[in-house]
Copies of this chain bind each other. A is one copy, B any other.
Amino acid sequence: MALISTSEFLGITDADDHGVRHMEVGDRAVGGGRGSLFGGVGLAAGIIGLEDTAAQPAVWATGQYVSTAFPPATLDLEVTLSAVGRTVTQGRVIGSNDGSEIISVLGATGVRPEPARMVGESMPDAPPPEDCIDSERPHEVDSIHDHIDVRMARGMFGFSGAGEPSGDNRTVLWTRFRGVRLDAAALAVMADYSPSALGNSLGRVTFLSSLDNTIRFAEMPSADEADDDWVLLDNRVEFVGNGFGHSSCTMWSRSGRLLAVASQSMTVIVPDVV
């Protein structure tokens, strides 16, 4: 099967005469439940806008979710390169619908000489995805979740209750974005599954609303990994309190390469608890 980029999967257009890219907010762009734009997709769209405009790979990016977009809607992506240096380009992307801001993305792209290399974290032990528990998240609407497989290697999936709570702040899960290359934007989409660790930590199904997603890219997939193979997420919940939560994850290729480090903050809603 021919693989496509995340940009092709989401149907992001080239820049128009005003330099603005467009994306229809359809089934492939929304999350489950309420059927609104999936946070990770918003960040992915911003990363695509930055990488395409700067013609460099992404180094890091953050997306702030200002308001919710439901289909039918068009996300207009306006890219501004605020600093173009010799090796690094910094920029921002405003994603809006009918002139109303939906997301703000900041980030950098770059190509630099490499004076040193080290990977500080270790891939956690995990059984292969084929031996792990399906997250079995119920899908009330057609959504991006229909295109991404999730298997629990450790802990409970916080949105469905699949698996067993680990008794601590960590879950380990496999994700696969079927038919899509492992590009930076695909990793941004996958990273938005990390907060599923909140329910595991609290020992019960937990809902949340992302305030942001932040991702920092490490090693790129090797040529034979740049397909739609599984990616392992090692998720940590650092804090839940004051009605908010913070979580992070490291993301690993199946062959053990550190692909990215991601984090986010969110509002936390525990069903039946005021």
Contact A218 B236 (CB under 8 A): no
Given contacts A62-B214, A218-B241, A268-B115, contact A104 B82 (CB under 8 A): yes
CA distance A239 to B244 in the complex (A): 28
* Binary B-proximity of A110-122 (CB < 8 A = 1, otherwise 0): 1111111111110
Q: What bracket does the count of chain A residues touching chain B fall in?
A: 35 or more
Given contacts A64-B90, A66-B82, contact A113 B243 (CB under 8 A): yes
Given contacts A110-B243, A120-B168, A248-B248, contact A216 B263 (CB under 8 A): yes
Choose one: B112, B169, B216, B267; the contact of A246 (CB below 8 Å): B216
Contact B261 A117 (CB under 8 A): no
Copies of this polypeptide in the complex? 2
A52 in the interface, Cβ–Cβ < 8 Å? no
A106 in the interface, Cβ–Cβ < 8 Å? yes
A200 to chain B, nearest CB (A): 10
Tell me the dominant secondary structure on chain A's binding face.
strand
Given contacts A113-B243, A211-B90, contact A62 B120 (CB under 8 A): no
Given contacts A112-B244, A115-B268, A248-B248, contact A239 B218 (CB under 8 A): yes
Query: Closest 10 CB pairs between A and B?
Result: A112-B243, A120-B169, A218-B239, A60-B265, A115-B273, A115-B270, A216-B246, A117-B241, A64-B106, A120-B237
